[in-house]
Structure 1
């Protein structure tokens, strides 16, 4: 039996349905990220798990116990908010101790637990500081310690890193994942940042207009997107318009070039238009033992992105991007240059909606 089970969850605000018949089973100790654009329903699902919103239909169970109509304080859940939500008139120690005091824990046990939590987030030396005396990253770590102090069954994280600068976000997300694995706590993380979701999740739920377009491991989501939306939202992806030439042989045509792909075209007919996807890192200007396909193209533009240089080509009327590692000794390709793009046909993925 799954530890956190969401069955046929629906939510409407007036005439607008924002979550449609959502189902998911989350295992104990699993780290699941809900990923999607603003308004897709991911935060609404999180709030229903927490008890801040009541589902219009469906059930929520934790460890087999129905939680659907319980109030937030009746659920053993820890939550970390985007805006930290620390008590400004309390010290770090008092913030972390708050939930334990409400639960009626003995003073000696509170002291032991708070010190344990502050050691976990490496802030023992700041126990007597107030939130305004701390950086945003430190405040968010205190909020995490406060949520974990009460030993919740489930930890909910509502875009907890979005207010931090890039370098702190990376280090803190790694710290959150390390703590989560150390404690073995079931965690649901909401974000619109695909890199965050890909880097720390056991599974990802890609939300689109109140529905889960795809649920899978980070590798599945990135390498085998199930829909055009997932393909375009997760990572940078080339969507190439092609024509089915021979569905039995899985052969398509891009411009004037016929290519045999790995994906089945059995449900298509000759002449059908299909969209195929290719990741920028799967293409190169150099032929290798791995590549088996070469298409002529013309450089449209090059963009310097730090560690990589992304170049856009016009290939058979399609704009295709490919990435090269930055090399200070190389001159970026100029617009109008004629080049040949190499890739493996098996890396082309047919996108079906």
Structure 2
């Protein structure tokens, strides 16, 4: 049995169904991210785990104990909100100590635990400050320490970095992951930022319209997207339309150029249209580039992105992007130039709708 289990969870607000048959089993100490656009249901699932929302149907347990009859304050859960939610009239010390005081812990234990938590987030020298005297990143670290102080079974993080600037977000997400690994606490992290989810998660749940489109490791989610939505939402991806020529031999055509796929298309018949996915980093224009497949087309644009140059080409009505390393002294191909992109056939994935 998994440590945190959600089975066939549904949630409706009147006639509006926001979560459909959501099932997820999370192991003890695992870091799982719910990733998806606004309105996909990810925060609603998080709020049901916390007890702020009641499932319309389904079961929810932690360490084998049914959580549905329990109120939020009866569940051993720590939560970090997007808006920090620190008490403005309390010092950093008192904010972190709040949950322990409510639980009736003795003063010596509270002081010891607060000191430990502030040391963990490297803010022990700011124990007497108030929230308004601190930066956004510091306030979010205090909110994290407050959630961890009560030694929760599960830590819930609801887009905790979205209000911070890009540089602080990167450093703070690394801190959160390091603290989570040090404590071994089971963590659920909600975000709409794919880079965040890919960089710190053990597994990712990609949510779409109240459903889990795909659950897998960051490697699986990025390299083998299961649906068109996952393919388009996670990372930059070329979506290519092709026609099946010989399903038994996995032969397709893109425009007028034939390709043999590694992935089976025997579920289709000759003449059917299929959607294919190709990552921009998979191909190369180099003459000696490794790869058993090639597509030729005309360059339509080239955009300088610093370390790489993202170039687009037209192949049979499909716009295909590919990345080239920025090499000083070597200009990218000009618009209108005919080029050949070489890649491995296994990088060309069939995407189901």
**TM value normalised by structure 2:** 0.98
1:225 positional shift: 0.5
Q: Aligned partners of 1:190, 1:2: CA distance in 2, in Å?
A: 20
1:109 alignment partner in structure 2:
109
Which residue of the partner structure matches residue 171 of structure 1?
171
CA distance in 2, matches of 1:288, 1:148: 54
Q: What's the counterpart of residue 64 of structure 1?
A: 64
Indicate the SS of the match to 1:174. helix
CA contact (8 A) 1:310 1:321 kept: yes
Deviates more, 1:156-165 or 1:321-330: 321-330
CA-atom RMSD, angstroms? 1.0
Task: Give the SS at the match of 1:112.
Answer: helix
Deviation at 1:268, TM superposition (A): 0.9
Distance 2:85 2:308 in 1: 38
Q: Is the 8 A contact 1:51 1:69 kept in 2?
A: no
**Partner residue of 1:279?**
279
Mapped to 2, the partners of 1:234 and 1:126 lie a distance apart of 39
Q: Is 1:347 paired with 2:347?
A: yes
Query: In 1, distance between residues paired with 2:328 and 2:129?
Result: 46
Structure 1 residue 69, shift from structure 2 partner: 2.7
Q: Which moved more, 1:4-13 or 1:296-305?
A: 296-305
Give the deviation of 1:255 after TM superposition: 1.5
Contact 1:100 1:110 in 2 (8 A): yes
Deviations 1:36-81 (A, max 9, x none): 0000000000000000101111111000000013111000000000
- Indicate the residue corresponding to 2:334 in structure 1: 334
Aligned equivalent of 1:190: 190
SS at 2:342's partner residue?
A: strand
Matched, 1:251 2:255: no
Alignment partner of 1:142: what SS?
A: helix
* Equivalent residue number for residue 130 of structure 2: 130
Q: Are the equivalent residues in 2 in contact too, given 1:203–1:216 (CA < 8 A)?
A: yes
1:242 and 1:338 map into 2 onto residues whose CA distance is: 21
Paired residue for 2:93? 93
Unaligned runs of 5+ in 1: none
Question: Quick one: distance in 2 between partners of 1:147 and 1:213?
Answer: 30
State the distance in 2 between where 1:97 and 1:307 align.
46
Q: CA deviation at 1:7?
A: 1.0
Aligned position for 1:19: 19
Deviation at 1:118, TM superposition (A): 0.6
* Structure 2 gaps, min length 5: none
Counterpart CA distance in 1 for 2:194 and 2:78 is: 24
Q: Which runs of 4+ in 1 moved over 4 A?
A: none
For the 8 Å contact 2:153–2:185, the answer to whether it is kept is yes
Task: Output one character per residue of 1:119-167: Cα deviation in whole Å (capped at 9) or x when no partner.
Answer: 1011111111111111111111110000000000000000000111111
Residue 180 (structure 1) aligns with: 180
Q: How big is the shift at 1:305?
A: 1.9
Helix, strand or coil: the match of 1:144? helix
1:332–1:48: structure 2 CA closer, same or farther, 3 Å change rule?
same
In 1, the alpha carbon distance for the partners of 2:143 and 2:307 equals: 34
Task: Indicate the residue corresponding to 1:118 in structure 2.
Answer: 118
Shift of 1:289: 5.3
Q: Deviations over 1:233-275 (max 9, x none)?
A: 0000001111111111111111121111110111111111101
| Contact 2:290 2:342 (8 Å CA) reproduced | no
